[in-house]
């Protein structure tokens, strides 16, 4: 093992470019060249059968087969099951990726370019070979104004892409960012003929020309969708695909309300569902189907960082521009009462923006953090150099009453006072908040906070809409407050510019929905993506956590440290090893298999 690490370090320090079967941002490659398969899969798993799921996100009909454009809704599973990339990660190594479409990756010694040699066996589902020209076409298309705007942020540091030969493609970078080979290596590749030359934002009903393990049998739009395993899938015997994607059919079923969806699980209409509502988990997963074992209720542990879930403010609205106002609103949320009375004690409070991870900042900043913060002192609030923000609590000796007194003081300092039956500013305008909501269950969760805000003179109301209208309003930043869930990540990077960067704040359709435009945050995100070691990454992320937390851009809610899953055990077989970092639905679809009775 020691010899292997010495070899890795020598390669990283060598004054020449290097080529390998894999790329690791920090040099930590677990599997050597020629490895057989990932440890957490069964390489001998039989192929066959079907698995039926419901999407983990808010349900809606789909109206396009193009997941890369802004308008419309693509079906669940499309990206993971049909599109492939040059490199692919796994559920064990956060910052390492292995060859998929590319059999080799070569990073220049100055890290200003990465060259990928395509596997000559790689084929699209129409039988045509995957060539360098397709990679160039995919990149240029995603960077065009016809694609969703987030891609122009994600690939902003790529200067150009060149087809060096028929099966060799080179990406040139603007900066020597060690994450960039992973970023471009993870880009979806699709065939040049997809859409037959139509403008990309008009490619909607045409089935993708992609290289993944599954195909679609028809281009019928609607609710449910079934993917069929491609019997001619080119990569079935690759080490990164061995033992994966074993089902002949993968179906996603859409239910437009929670009751019918849960009844569908008990009735055998589908096989797997992740539960997000603690009340349902505590009270509904009972009855004949569960006592007989037809349906299993199981919490699957994982090592994933906690999600950031919270109510977020739209800073483009004047009433939320003052940080004291945002902090005051957060003081009206009583998590402890909610967790006891409504959540059956299942959840933990979100602390910071990266809970349950090594990126979470605690206490005073250390010397390594201060080294990044000092050059930005003039751009930072003095409080940032103090203790990390802790979410308000009502655990004795604290109380909601004390928190509301503190909130009232902050609001007064910000120019809001109670008169004529409402909290008003100097112009006499009453403080009201409209919450954009597309989940009926959220209203009951916010009701206690609504009551607490009313004591401060703030009137909160809800605009309940369906998912498609909610998405449209979010894309155009037409909301005051809403609820979001940001999945935790072990390998944060350039996507943070899309989420928190100033340029993204003014780009419709971006993930910077709150409108954060702070040069200090931009600078620290730059440190995150340029980190050359894991400790450098951790330090920069902790500083980012401090800046975001002290900005009070949202009201942190709660998270769970296990996947709450209801599934039908027969006729499925689960792999004996559960990897440390995984998404529950993707793990089931990619690593489970069916016994003979389901073939």
Residues 98-124: tens digit of each pLDDT? 999 999 999 999 999 999 999 999 999
CB atoms inside a 10 Å sphere around CB 136: 19
CB atoms inside a 10 Å sphere around CB 599: 12
384: its two tokens = 């940032």
Domain boundaries, the chain: 1-35+62-211, 38-58+223-301+561-599, 308-559
DSSP 21: S
pLDDT at 137 over 50: yes
Cα 455 to Cα 324, 448, 538, distances in angstroms = 17, 11, 41
Distance (Å, whole) CA 458 – CA 50: 51
DSSP 386: S
Residue range 574-586: average pLDDT? 93
CB atoms inside a 10 Å sphere around CB 366: 12
396 CB burial (10 A radius; 0-12, 13-18, 19+): exposed
Distance (Å, whole) CA 107 – CA 118: 15
pLDDT at 5 over 80: no
* pLDDT at residue 468, as a whole number: 80
Residue range 482-507: average pLDDT? 91
Distance (Å, whole) CA 363 – CA 545: 12
Q: In DSSP terms, which residues pair with 23 in a beta bridge? A: 97
Residue range 477-501: average pLDDT? 91
Q: List phi, psi (to 5°) of 258.
A: -65, -35
Q: Looking at domain 308-559, which of 3.30.2130.10, 3.10.105.10, 3.20.20.80, 3.40.30.10 is its CATH number?
A: 3.10.105.10
* pLDDT at residue 596, as a whole number: 67
* pLDDT at residue 277, as a whole number: 84
| Tens-place pLDDT, residues 344-385 | 888 899 999 999 899 999 999 999 999 999 999 999 999 999
* pLDDT at residue 342, as a whole number: 87
Domains 1-35+62-211 and 308-559 fall in the same CATH topology? no
Q: Characterize 54-67 residue by residue with b for buried, 16 or more Cβ atoms within 10 angstroms of its Cβ, and e for exposed.
A: bbbeebbebebbbb
Cβ contacts of 238 within 8 Å, gap of 6 or more: 100
Residue 58 banded pLDDT, cuts 50, 70, 90: low
Distance (Å, whole) CA 313 – CA 514: 6
* Contact by Cβ (8 Å): 559, 306: yes
How many Cα atoms sit within 13 Å of 506 on the Cβ side?
A: 4
Residue range 468-481: average pLDDT? 91
* pLDDT at residue 16, as a whole number: 38
| Whole-number percent of the chain with pLDDT over 70 | 96
DSSP 62: B
In this structure, the dihedral spanned by the alpha carbons of residues 81, 82, 85 and 88, taken in order and rounded to 10 degrees, is: 20
Question: What CATH code is assigned to 38-58+223-301+561-599?
Answer: 3.40.190.10
* pLDDT at residue 406, as a whole number: 98
Orientation of helix 534-551 relative to helix 323-330, angle to 10°: 90
* Domain spanning 1-35+62-211: CATH 3.20.20.70: no
Q: List phi, psi (to 5°) of 283.
A: -115, -25
Residue 59 banded pLDDT, cuts 50, 70, 90: low
343: its two tokens = 């959540």
* Contact by Cβ (8 Å): 587, 91: yes
* Contact by Cβ (8 Å): 66, 79: no
Residue with tokens 């440390």: 580
Alpha helices in 400-494 (DSSP H): 400-413, 440-455, 467-475
pLDDT at 7 over 50: no
For the chain, the residue count is 599
Residue 598 banded pLDDT, cuts 50, 70, 90: very low
DSSP 100: S
How many Cα atoms sit within 13 Å of 45 on the Cβ side?
A: 29
pLDDT at 222 over 50: yes
CA–CA–CA angle 195, 198, 200 (5° rounding): 80
* pLDDT at residue 303, as a whole number: 87
* pLDDT at residue 21, as a whole number: 95
* pLDDT at residue 478, as a whole number: 94
pLDDT at 13 over 90: no
Q: Shortest CA distance to 160 belongs to which of 184, 182, 178?
A: 184
Q: How far is CA 42 from the centre of its chain?
A: 27
Using only C-alpha atoms, what is the Rg of the chain? 25
| Tens-place pLDDT, residues 409-461 | 999 999 999 999 999 999 999 999 999 988 877 888 889 999 999 999 999 99
Q: What string of H, E and C letters represents the secondary structure of 137-189? A: HHHHHHCCCCCCCHHHHHCCCEEEEEEEECCEEEEEECCCCCCHHHHHHCCEE
Q: In DSSP terms, which residues pair with 116 in a beta bridge? A: 105, 169
Helix (H, G, I), strand (E, B) or coil at 460: strand
Cβ contacts of 417 within 8 Å, gap of 6 or more: 411, 423, 424
Distance (Å, whole) CA 383 – CA 323: 12
């Amino acid at each position: 093992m020691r010899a292997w690490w010495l070899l890795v370090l020598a390669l990283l320090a060598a004054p020449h470019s290097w080529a390998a079967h894999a790329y690791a941002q920090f040099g930590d490659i677990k599997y050597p060249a020629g490895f057989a398969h990932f440890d957490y899969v069964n390489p001998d798993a039989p192929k066959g059968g079907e698995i039926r799921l419901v999407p983990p996100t808010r349900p809606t009909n789909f109206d396009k087969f193009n997941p890369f454009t802004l308008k419309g809704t693509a079906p669940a599973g499309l990206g993971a099951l049909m599109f492939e990339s040059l490199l692919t990660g796994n559920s064990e190594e956060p910052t390492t990726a292995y060859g998929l479409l590319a059999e080799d990756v070569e990073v220049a010694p100055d890290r200003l370019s990465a060259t990928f040699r395509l596997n000559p066996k790689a084929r699209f589902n129409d039988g045509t070979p995957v060539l360098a020209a397709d990679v160039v076409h995919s990149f240029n298309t995603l960077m065009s104004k016809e694609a969703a705007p987030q891609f122009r942020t994600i690939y902003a540091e790529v200067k150009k892409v060149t087809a060096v030969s028929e099966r060799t493609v080179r990406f040139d970078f603007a900066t020597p960012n060690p994450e960039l080979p992973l970023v471009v290596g993870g880009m979806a590749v699709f065939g040049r003929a997809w859409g037959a030359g139509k403008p990309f934002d008009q490619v909607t009903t045409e089935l993708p020309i992609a290289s993944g393990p599954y195909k679609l049998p028809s281009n019928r739009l609607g609710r449910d969708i079934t993917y069929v395993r491609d019997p001619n899938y080119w990569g079935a015997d690759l080490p990164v695909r061995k033992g994966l994607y074993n089902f002949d059919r993968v179906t996603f079923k859409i239910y437009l309300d929670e009751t019918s969806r849960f009844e569908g699980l008990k009735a055998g209409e589908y096989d797997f569902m992740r539960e997000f509502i603690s009340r349902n988990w505590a009270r509904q997963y009972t009855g004949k189907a569960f006592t007989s074992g037809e349906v299993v209720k199981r919490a699957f542990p994982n090592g994933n960082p906690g999600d950031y879930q919270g109510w977020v403010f739209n800073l483009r609205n004047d009433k939320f521009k003052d940080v004291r106002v945002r902090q005051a609103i957060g003081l009206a949320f009583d998590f402890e009462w909610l967790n006891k009375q409504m959540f059956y004690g299942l959840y933990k409070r979100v602390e910071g923006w990266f809970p349950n991870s090594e990126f979470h900042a605690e206490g005073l900043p250390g010397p390594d953090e201060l080294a990044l913060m000092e050059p930005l002192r003039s751009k930072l609030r003095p409080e940032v150099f103090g203790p990390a923000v802790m979410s308000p609590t009502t655990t004795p000796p604290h109380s909601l009453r004390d928190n509301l007194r503190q909130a009232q003081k902050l609001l007064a300092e910000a120019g809001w006072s109670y008169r004529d039956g409402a909290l008003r500013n100097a112009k006499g305008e009453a403080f009201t908040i409209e919450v954009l909501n597309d989940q009926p269950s959220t209203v009951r969760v916010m009701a206690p906070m609504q009551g607490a805000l009313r004591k401060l003179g703030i009137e909160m109301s809800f605009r309940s809409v369906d998912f498609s209208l909610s998405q449209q309003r979010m894309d155009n930043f037409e909301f005051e407050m809403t609820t979001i869930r940001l999945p935790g990540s072990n390998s944060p990077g350039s996507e943070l510019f899309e989420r928190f960067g100033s340029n993204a704040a003014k780009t419709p359709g971006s993930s910077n929905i709150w409108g954060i435009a702070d040069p200090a945050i931009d600078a620290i995100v730059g440190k995150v993506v340029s980190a050359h070691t894991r400790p450098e990454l951790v330090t920069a992320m902790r500083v980012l956590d401090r800046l975001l937390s002290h900005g009070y851009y949202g009201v942190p809610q709660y998270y769970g440290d296990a996947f709450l899953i209801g599934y039908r055990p027969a006729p499925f077989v689960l792999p004996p090893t559960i990897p440390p970092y995984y998404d529950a639905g993707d793990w089931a679809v990619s690593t489970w298999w069916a016994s003979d009775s389901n073939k």
